[in-house]
């Protein structure tokens, strides 16, 4: 289940934020915000995606650049609020 969530988020990030010919190897620990792949304004659409697809409400206070910096960290955050 956890891996399914990771796969879904990674797939979304690659599809929406990474161009086909960008030479970026993406995995669950690839920095997203601190690497500039996802800018801080675009985090909002990522947050909306997570809330809609994972049926969870993420408080703005918790949706920080640090918490959104990798797929693994995002999954941790989502699981915390799903619990």
Partner 1 sequence: MSNIGSYEKRRENFSWDIAKEVLNWKEGEILNIGAMCSDRICAQGKGAKKALIWQGFGGKQKTYTFNDLKVLSNGYAKFLEDLGVNPGEKVCLFMDKIPALYISFLGVLKMGAVAQPLFSAFGDESLEVRLLSADTKVIFTTRKHVKKVRKIQDRLPALEKIVVVEGDPSKLKEGEIFFDVEAAPKVEEFSVYASGPDTPSVLHYTSGTTGQPKGAQHAHGSVWGQALTTSWVLDLRDDDIYWCTADPGWVTGTSYGIIGPWSLGVTQCVLDSGFTSAAWYQFIQNNKVSVWYSAPTAIRSLMRDGEELVKQYDLSSLRHLASVGEPLNAEAVIWSEKVYGLPFLDTFWQTETGSMMITNFPGMTIKPGSMGKPFPGIVAGILDLKTNEPVTEPGTVGLIAFRPGWPSMFREYVKQPDIYRSKFYGAADDAMPAELRVDESLWYISGDRASFDKDGYYWFVGRDDDVINTGGHLVGPFEIESALVEHEAIAEAAAIGKPDEVNMEVVKVFITLNPGFEPSDDLELNIMNFIRKRLSPLAMPQEIEYSEKLPKTRSGKILRRYLKAIEWGQEAGDLSTLEDD
Instruction: Answer yes or no whether residue 33 interacts with partner 1 by CB under 8 A.
Output: yes
For the chain, helix (H) and strand (E) counts, in that order, are: 3, 0
Helix (H) or strand (E) holding 2: helix 2-17
- Sequence-distant (6+) residues with CB within 8 A of 53 are 8, 12
Q: Compute how many residues bind partner 1; rule: CB under 8 A.
A: 26
Q: Is 2 or 44 the residue whose CB approaches partner 1 more closely?
A: 44
64 part of the interface to partner 1, by CB under 8 A: yes
Residues that bind partner 1 (CB under 8 A): 16, 19, 21-22, 31, 33-36, 38-42, 44-45, 48-49, 52-53, 60-61, 64-66, 69
């Amino acid at each position: 289940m956890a891996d399914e969530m990771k796969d879904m988020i990674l797939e979304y990030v690659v599809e929406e934020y990474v161009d086909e010919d960008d030479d970026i190897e993406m995995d669950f620990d690839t920095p997203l915000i601190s690497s500039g792949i996802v800018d801080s304004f675009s985090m909002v659409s990522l947050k909306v995606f997570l809330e809609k697809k994972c049926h969870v409400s993420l408080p703005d206070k918790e949706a920080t650049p640090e918490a959104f910096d990798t797929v693994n960290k995002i999954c941790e955050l989502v699981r915390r609020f799903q619990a």
